Amino acid sequence: MKSRVNYKFYEDKLIRELQEYVDKTYDQHYATDKYQATDVIIDSGHGTGFCLGNVIKYAKRYGNKGSPCDARKVLMKILHYALIQLYIHDEENKTVFKPAPGHHSIDDVTPDEWNKVK
């Protein structure tokens, strides 16, 4: 059994916080229709430009407006658009993680095994 990782930069807590942030976006006005604008943009073949463009836009905005709390929200937006782009990447490249025998999740995989994922 794998021992618990002692995250130096609190990645475990920050990932949980990011998930809470993403969850809240699904409750907002632009997520109430059957399709979000992001769905339409991705389906029209412009998802990568949209996501990476938003990452750049928010990265340039970081720290230039508002309070430190506002800057932190900007970082959450960057991470959210990066996650959506990761989804697009995986869909376009048919990237699928299939655990090897003896592995039950992505957390059980070595870096070499992860690099072999197609």
Q: Does residue 84 form part of some domain?
A: yes
Q: How many domains in the chain?
A: 1
Biggest CA–CA distance in the chain, Å, is 50
Q: Does residue 103 form part of some domain?
A: yes
Q: Does residue 46 form part of some domain?
A: yes
Residues of the domain holding 106: 11-112
Q: Distance between the two ends of the chain, CA-based, in angstroms?
A: 26
Q: Does residue 4 form part of some domain?
A: no
**The overall pTM is greater than 0.85:** no
Q: Does residue 6 form part of some domain?
A: no
What angle is formed at CA 55 by the lines to CA 16 and CA 88, rounded to 5 degrees? Answer: 75
Q: Report the pLDDT value the prediction gives residue 105, as an integer from 0 to 100.
A: 63
Residue-level pLDDT, tens digit, the chain, 118 residues: 556 889 999 999 999 999 999 999 988 766 666 788 899 999 999 999 999 999 999 999 999 989 999 999 999 999 999 999 999 999 999 887 666 666 656 666 666 776 776 5
Q: How far is residue 49's CA from residue 52's CA, in Å, rounded to a whole number?
A: 5
- Among 87, 90, 89, 109, smallest CA distance to 98 is for 109
Q: Report the pLDDT value the prediction gives residue 34, as an integer from 0 to 100.
A: 76
